């Protein structure tokens, strides 16, 4: 099997500085990466061999970690924020494609929940790439492919949207109290997305079922109509419920749904 990315082309243009840091000739790296992105369009197909996809995914992960390392170096110097943001864009493209490959691998292994999460990861990385200034033409095909999988590979999803009341919070960009700095949530500064974390307190307020959630990883995983059976949302495979669960559903005459309701995770790009 010919998998060129095992002998990774980026090795030819990157210089190892130790401690996971690299220096990079940006123009040469971009040229090589662009070539591999073009090839990736024809590689990331469901019919491809699992091992072949895994090696592409690993190769893309090498791109991502190298770009991330160079981005962090530009960001720490602070002299050229646009360079740091440009490398965040390149890292995001590599991560998006790597996640798409992982999604295909998970489908082959019938790990559908993992496949869904990889699909959402891929979409969010592509979105971050656009925020970081990568041209839409470079990410359109990824997003189109994600849409196709979303609509045809997976069943119609039901999402959860949780509302929380937050006290305090710290800015990921500068580490100051969020209301004391100038950084706006969701915008990119010096190769890093601004987000809030380290709240003093977080209170659950309410839960809603929505069509358009902020985090598509919060979704219904199984449903039960009260016949003593849970039906997996992805596979349709039935599983017997516990006796006490059956009784409760029958008394309430409703549909029970198992959901992932909240994931305590910072958005991609929020930490260098």
Partner 1 sequence: MAMNVSYLDEGELRTLLRDNSAGDRSVLVVLPHHISPNGTVVFPQSSRSLIKRFRASKVEVLLAAKPDNVAFQDEHGAEWLGPLLLISASAITHDPNIIGITLSVIATYLVDYFRGKPKPHRAKFGIVLKNGLLGRKSLKITYDGPADSIEEFRETVREAKRTWESEGGSSDGRSDD
**Residue 114 or 185 with smaller CB distance to partner 1:** 185
Among 178, 189, 234, 268, binds partner 1 (CB under 8 A): 178
90: which residues sit within 8 A by CB, 6+ positions away?
29, 30, 33, 63, 67, 129, 134
Among 179, 236, 243, 244, binds partner 1 (CB under 8 A): 179
- Choose one: 28-36, 59-67, 101-109, 179-187; the region binding partner 1 (CB under 8 A): 179-187
Q: Is 127 in the site for partner 1 (CB under 8 A)?
A: yes
Q: Is 48 in the site for partner 1 (CB under 8 A)?
A: no
Q: Is 183 in the site for partner 1 (CB under 8 A)?
A: yes
* 160 closest CA partner among 32, 70, 260, 85: 260
Q: Is 205 in the site for partner 1 (CB under 8 A)?
A: yes
- Least distance to partner 1, CB of residue 57, Å: 23
Q: Is 187 in the site for partner 1 (CB under 8 A)?
A: yes
Q: Is 186 in the site for partner 1 (CB under 8 A)?
A: yes
Distance of CA 242 to CAs 221, 222, 250, 269, Å? 17, 14, 13, 42
Do 74 and 83 touch, CB atoms closer than 8 A? Answer: yes
E strands, 2-112, where? 14-18, 21-24
**Residue 2 or 136 with smaller CB distance to partner 1:** 136
Among 12, 163, 198, 266, binds partner 1 (CB under 8 A): 163
Characterise 169 by phi-psi region: left (phi > 0), alpha (psi -120 to 50), beta (else). left
Q: Is 130 in the site for partner 1 (CB under 8 A)?
A: yes
Instruction: Give the count of residues interacting with partner 1 (CB under 8 A).
Output: 35
Burial class of 244 by CB neighbour count within 10 A (0 to 12, 13 to 18, 19+)? exposed
CA distance 97 to 196: 27
Q: Is 220 in the site for partner 1 (CB under 8 A)?
A: no
Q: Is 258 in the site for partner 1 (CB under 8 A)?
A: no
- Least distance to partner 1, CB of residue 194, Å: 8
- Least distance to partner 1, CB of residue 162, Å: 5
Distance of CA 17 to CAs 23, 26, 67, 194, 271, Å? 7, 16, 14, 28, 21
* 119 closest CA partner among 141, 92, 101: 101
Do 253 and 227 touch, CB atoms closer than 8 A? Answer: no
- Choose one: 34-42, 51-59, 76-84, 208-216; the region binding partner 1 (CB under 8 A): 208-216
Question: Which residues from 60-79 bind partner 1, rule CB under 8 A?
Answer: none
Among 6, 17, 45, 210, binds partner 1 (CB under 8 A): 210
Burial class of 2 by CB neighbour count within 10 A (0 to 12, 13 to 18, 19+)? exposed
Query: Which residues are at the interface with partner 1 (CB under 8 A)?
Result: 123, 127-131, 143, 161-167, 169, 178-179, 181-187, 196, 203, 205, 208, 210, 212-215, 218, 262
């Amino acid at each position: 099997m010919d998998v060129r990315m095992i002998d990774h082309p980026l090795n030819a243009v990157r210089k190892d500085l130790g401690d996971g840091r690299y220096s990079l000739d940006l123009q040469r790296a971009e040229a090589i990466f662009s070539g591999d992105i073009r090839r990736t369009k024809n590689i990331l197909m469901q019919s491809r061999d699992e091992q072949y996809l895994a090696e592409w995914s690993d190769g893309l992960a090498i791109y991502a970690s190298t770009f991330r390392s160079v981005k962090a170096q530009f960001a720490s110097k602070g002299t050229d924020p646009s360079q740091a943001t440009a490398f965040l864009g390149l890292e995001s493209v590599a991560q998006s494609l790597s996640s798409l490959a992982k999604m295909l691998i998970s489908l082959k292994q019938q790990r559908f929940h993992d496949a869904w999460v990889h699909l959402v990861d891929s979409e969010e990385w592509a979105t971050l790439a656009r925020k970081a200034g990568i041209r839409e033409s470079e990410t359109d095909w990824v997003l189109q492919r994600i849409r196709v999988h979303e609509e045809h590979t997976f069943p119609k999803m039901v999402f959860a949207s949780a509302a929380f009341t937050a006290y305090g919070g710290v800015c990921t960009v500068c580490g100051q109290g969020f209301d004391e700095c100038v950084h706006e949530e969701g915008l990119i500064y010096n190769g890093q997305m601004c987000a809030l974390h380290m709240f003093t307190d977080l209170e659950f307020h309410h839960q809603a079922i929505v069509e358009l959630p902020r985090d598509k990883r919060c979704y219904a995983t199984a449903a039960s109509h009260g016949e003593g059976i849970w039906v997996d949302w992805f596979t349709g495979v039935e599983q017997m419920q516990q006796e006490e669960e059956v009784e409760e559903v029958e008394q309430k005459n409703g549909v029970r749904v198992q959901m992932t309701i909240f994931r305590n995770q910072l958005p991609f790009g929020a930490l260098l």
